[in-house]
A = this chain, B = another copy of it.
Amino acid sequence: MSSFAASEFAGRTARAQALMAEHDIAACLLTTEPEVRYVTGYLTRFWESPTRPWFIVLPASGKPIAVIPSIGAQLMGQTWVDDIRTWPAPDLEDDGLGLLIDTLHEVAPGGLVALPDGHETQVRMPKSNLDRLAQAVSLTSDAGIFRRLRMVKSQAEIRKVARACHIAGRAFARVAEIASAGVPLDRIFRDFQILCLEEGADWVPYLAGGAGQAGYRDVISPATATPLTTGDVLMLDTGLVHEGYFCDFDRNWSVGRPSAPVRNTHRRLIEATQSGADAAKPGATAATVFHAMNAVLAPGSTGTDAGRLGHGLGMSLTEWPSLIATDHTVLTPGMILTLEPGMALGDRIMVHEENILITEGDPIFLSPRAGPEIPII
């Protein structure tokens, strides 16, 4: 089922278990889509359904154990996982929790059971079940193990993100086919998703953007039916998926000739991106890259409300680290980051975004980087 070799998951599992041993963790419990997929390769869009909980128990040694609804047994059976325990979910009395607790008692008797915790995590089960679980086993944090592991991508993972970026790049290159003055923004959103699919996306989980005179109001809004007007800046920001891996970058266009502020802001955003890339070398921190970009943006401008100037990227649209002044994560080869500088123009903003791979030397742009001049449609 997965396009990875089983060795990919065996390696991830071994690395996790080595770190678990350092922290006296007897088993890890994984409950969210990327966590489950990271150690199993289990890839399905069925996570869109919030109904059923899914559990992976990673023992101190050996393969992961799947404790999952019976509807997933066939597909999980195509992964490298051998031990698949199922219940007929949904069960209103005991939705897998008894089976999970039995499994944890079996593989980690009396030991610490670790859940991913901290920034960007959640436990995907009802609160009362989590409370009951906490009574039955000794829960602890995974000490950031899955954060550390997932931040550094394998060559096989990097190829998938790069391919997602190429697909999005080809779609962005065709935007003039679908966007011009007079076309409603919601039609552009719909047609852009079609372009992404035509260029090879498996699906398009994320599309946001905006349009407005000399900038847009935010970067997370759905589209309205308002048609593009000459003088508008159009921005499209997409996270499309190729074999379970995301890209996440945007592009800006000027509808007709750009005003001087729009032109200059776009140039400044590209300059900030370059400055961020120049700083994004092994040994530097996420904060280093933030400051490199912010130094270009800050003079004469207020920031946006985005809260950061980029982030990690991979199995999820956004991952650790955050490009903020307080994130001291040290960059290492194999990390994939977005560089996402933004600037305010009065009550409007403009945001640019590229995706880079940290290497031993200069980073590699995975997205087909934009030039300093805002393109005209």
Q: A193-B197, A198-B194 are in contact. Are A44 and B221 (CB under 8 A)?
A: yes
| Alpha-carbon gap, A193 to B316, bound state (A) | 21
- A72 at the A/B interface (Cβ < 8 Å)? yes
Chain B nearest Cβ from A179, distance in angstroms: 15
| Alpha-carbon gap, A205 to B51, bound state (A) | 16
B127 touches A123 (CB 8 A): yes
From 178 to 204 in chain A, residues with beta carbon under 8 angstroms from any chain B beta carbon are 186, 189-191, 193-194, 197-198, 200-204
B-side contacts of A318, CB under 8 Å: 49-51
B239 touches A305 (CB 8 A): no
Partner of A221, one of B75, B91, B206: B75
B-side contacts of A121, CB under 8 Å: 50, 126-127
Partner of A326, one of B49, B52, B93, B120: B93
B-side contacts of A322, CB under 8 Å: 51, 90, 92
B-side contacts of A49, CB under 8 Å: 206, 316-318
Chain B nearest Cβ from A317, distance in angstroms: 5
| Alpha-carbon gap, A305 to B281, bound state (A) | 50
| Alpha-carbon gap, A95 to B120, bound state (A) | 10
Interface set of A (CB-CB < 8 Å, partner B) = 1, 32, 43-46, 48-52, 69-75, 86, 88-93, 95, 115, 117-128, 130, 141, 186, 189-191, 193-194, 197-198, 200-208, 217-222, 239, 304-308, 311, 316-318, 322, 324, 326-327
